[in-house]
């Protein structure tokens, strides 16, 4: 019997919260869930493990098994770094850096070669990427420190190394799914090849982490509709959600990427979708994006990661971000923009205080601290990949690079 596992907000409330991208409100939209597994009848009570705050507004996840013994080694890392020349110019100085999305290590290797006295902390949630970082550490002894974990696990990992706040010289975040995850059918991200409907960036690192198939086997129609609409920006979200739920009873539960892709294609029956390069885009692309964001809690993790970056970056240090869709870019842009006091009248706080007496409790110094800018944008506008790079690496077509310096 299917179990209703998500109790989400109303359409309007969820829409407003996703637009504002508050990590706390988005987190609260996914409440405790329960899953029943056939004969074992095992219940998992949390989709996201909520622990106490540590030093600042970020959540630390439970201790996980960090063993990578079962991870297969590959001869070469199958990934082309995006906008590497732009990153090279922005992080062209010696220091201690943090690559928060190591992947296959393309950006890290470039920084190591360009800055001979630099050291890099290499974070990634994927055990395979951690293996690549370990191999790179052997090639650059004393200059590379591999870290296995999510953005929300970063405080614990850095505390163990003795890294304190305001200490890092530069941070890089290349957000999204890496090519080596996309190209492996067994990871469940591919539309073109069949594989298990997994979509976990952590692979099997956390046994309590639900797969996309397990979520689709239990989620109710209204909750799935909201996920597809707001995380995938899918116009046909209602029709797809209804078809997925009905397939559980009329046919069978969806277990492979091919089954989900074919179901979505049969429901919306659109042949004319094109990507930015005017190539055919599968009708299920946005559905896969929405499920991937949900499975990996990507937007919350990104929000935590940006707060973590500001906490550990020294004043004057540079943060470079690369995003691949509008939801990610919106979060980064709002962190970087913040409250632009340079364009705000100095007396705005005192002016409002005339009408709301509660604001009179704040002194001028307190108001300055509250309204202080956290970032100064390095680039006036978002940077996009060149036509030459897109033709060489089509997966770079959606990339958007932003950079800011900590105040």
Q: What is the pLDDT of residue 45?
A: 29
Q: What is the pLDDT of residue 79?
A: 65
CA nearest to 2, candidates 197, 210, 216 = 216
Segment among 51-65, 85-99, 312-326, 384-398 with least mean pLDDT = 51-65
Residues in a beta bridge with 46: none
Q: What is the mean pLDDT of residues 302-330?
A: 95
Q: What is the mean pLDDT of residues 128-132?
A: 93
Q: What is the pLDDT of residue 373?
A: 85
Domain count, the chain: 1
Q: How far apart are CA 202 and CA 188, in angstroms?
A: 12
For residue 73, pLDDT beyond 90: no
Q: What is the pLDDT of residue 294?
A: 96
Give the range of the structural domain holding residue 402, as residue numbers without chain letter: 84-179+299-406
For residue 3, pLDDT beyond 70: no
User: What confidence tier does 113 reach under pLDDT thresholds 50, 70, 90?
Assistant: very high
195 belongs to a structural domain: no
CA nearest to 187, candidates 172, 179, 198 = 198
pLDDT tens digit string along 223-268?
999 999 999 999 999 999 999 999 998 888 899 999 999 999 999 8
Q: What is the mean pLDDT of residues 343-358?
A: 45
User: What confidence tier does 42 reach under pLDDT thresholds 50, 70, 90?
Assistant: very low
247 belongs to a structural domain: no
315 belongs to a structural domain: yes
CA nearest to 123, candidates 100, 142, 152, 157 = 100
Q: What is the pLDDT of residue 120?
A: 97
323 belongs to a structural domain: yes
Q: 285-296 and 298-312 are packed helices; what angle lies between their axes, rounded to 10 degrees?
A: 50
Higher-confidence residue of 287 and 27: namely: 287
Q: What is the pLDDT of residue 279?
A: 61
CATH for 326: 3.40.50.150
Q: What is the pLDDT of residue 15?
A: 39
User: What percentage of residues in the chain have a pLDDT greater than 90?
Assistant: 56
43 belongs to a structural domain: no
163 belongs to a structural domain: yes
User: What confidence tier does 275 reach under pLDDT thresholds 50, 70, 90?
Assistant: low
236 belongs to a structural domain: no
Q: How far apart are CA 76 and CA 78, in angstroms?
A: 6
User: What confidence tier does 89 reach under pLDDT thresholds 50, 70, 90?
Assistant: very high
Q: How far apart are CA 149 and CA 157, in angstroms?
A: 8
288 belongs to a structural domain: no
pLDDT tens digit string along 138-173?
999 999 999 999 999 999 999 999 999 999 999 999
Q: What is the mean pLDDT of residues 30-53?
A: 31
Q: What string of H, E and C letters represents the secondary structure of the chain?
A: CCCCCCCCCCHHHHHHHHHHCCHHHHHHCCCCCCCCCCCCCCCCCCCCCCCCEECEEEECCCCCCCCCCCCCCCCCCCCCCCCHHHHHHHCCCCCEEEECCCCCCHHHHHHHHHCCCCEEEEEECCHHHHHHHHHHHHHCCCCEEEEECCHHHHHHHHHHHCCCCCCEEEEEEECCCCHHHHCCHHHCCCCCCCCECCCCCCCCCCCCCCCHHHHHCCCCHHHHHHHHHHHCCCCCHHHHHHHHHHHHHHCCCCCEHHHHHHHHHHHHCCCCCECCCCCECCCCHHHHHHHHHHHHCHHHHHHHHHHHHHHHEEEEEEEEEEECCHHHHHHHHHHHHCCCHHHCCCCHHHHHHCCCHHHHHCCHHHHHHHCCCCEEECCCCCECCCHHHHHHCHHHCCCEEEEEEEC
Q: How many CA atoms lie within 13 A of 261 on its CB side?
A: 17
Q: What is the pLDDT of residue 317?
A: 97
- 294, two tokens: 């949900």
- 170, two tokens: 């530069």
Q: How far apart are CA 302 and CA 305, in angstroms?
A: 5
**Residue recorded with tokens 């033709």:** 391
């Amino acid at each position: 019997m299917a179990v209703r596992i998500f109790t989400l907000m109303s359409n309007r409330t969820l829409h407003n919260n996703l637009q504002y991208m508050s990590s706390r409100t988005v987190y609260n939209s996914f409440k405790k869930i329960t899953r029943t597994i056939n004969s074992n009848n095992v219940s998992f009570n949390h989709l996201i493990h909520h622990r106490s705050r540590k030093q600042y507004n970020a959540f630390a996840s439970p201790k996980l098994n960090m063993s990578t013994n079962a991870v297969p080694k590959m001869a070469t890392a199958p990934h082309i770094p995006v906008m590497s020349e732009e990153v090279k110019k922005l992080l062209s100085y010696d220091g201690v850096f943090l690559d928060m999305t190591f992947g296959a290590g393309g950006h890290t290797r470039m920084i190591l070669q360009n800055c001979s006295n630099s050291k890099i902390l290499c974070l990634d949630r994927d055990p395979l990427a951690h293996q690549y970082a370990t191999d790179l550490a052997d090639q650059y002894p004393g200059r590379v420190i591999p870290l296995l974990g999510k953005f929300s696990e970063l405080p614990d990992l850095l505390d163990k190394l003795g890294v304190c706040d305001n200490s890092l010289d530069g941070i890089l975040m290349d957000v999204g799914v890496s090519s080596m995850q996309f190209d492996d059918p067994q990871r469940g991200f591919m539309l073109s090849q069949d594989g298990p409907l997994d979509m976990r960036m952590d692979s099997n690192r956390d046994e309590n982490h639900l797969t996309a198939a397990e979520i689709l086997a239990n989620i109710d129609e209204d909750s799935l509709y909201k996920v597809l609409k707001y995380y995938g920006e899918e116009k046909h979200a209602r029709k797809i959600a209804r078809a997925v739920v009905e397939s559980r009873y009329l046919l069978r539960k969806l277990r492979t990427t091919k089954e989900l892709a074919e179901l979505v294609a049969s429901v919306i029956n659109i042949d004319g979708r094109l990507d930015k390069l005017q190539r055919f885009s599968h009708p299920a692309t946005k559905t896969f994006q929405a499920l991937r964001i949900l499975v990996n809690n990507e937007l919350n993790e990104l929000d935590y990661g940006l707060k973590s970056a500001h906490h550990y970056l020294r004043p004057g240090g540079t943060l470079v971000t690369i995003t691949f869709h509008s939801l990610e870019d919106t979060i980064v842009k709002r962190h970087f923009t913040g409250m632009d006091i340079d364009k705000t009248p100095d007396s705005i706080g005192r002016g409002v205080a005339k009408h709301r007496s509660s604001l009179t409790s704040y002194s001028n110094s307190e108001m300055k601290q509250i309204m202080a800018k956290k970032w100064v944008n390095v680039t006036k506008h978002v940077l996009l990949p060149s036509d030459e790079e897109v033709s060489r690496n089509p997966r770079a077509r959606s990339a958007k690079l932003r950079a800011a310096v900590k105040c």
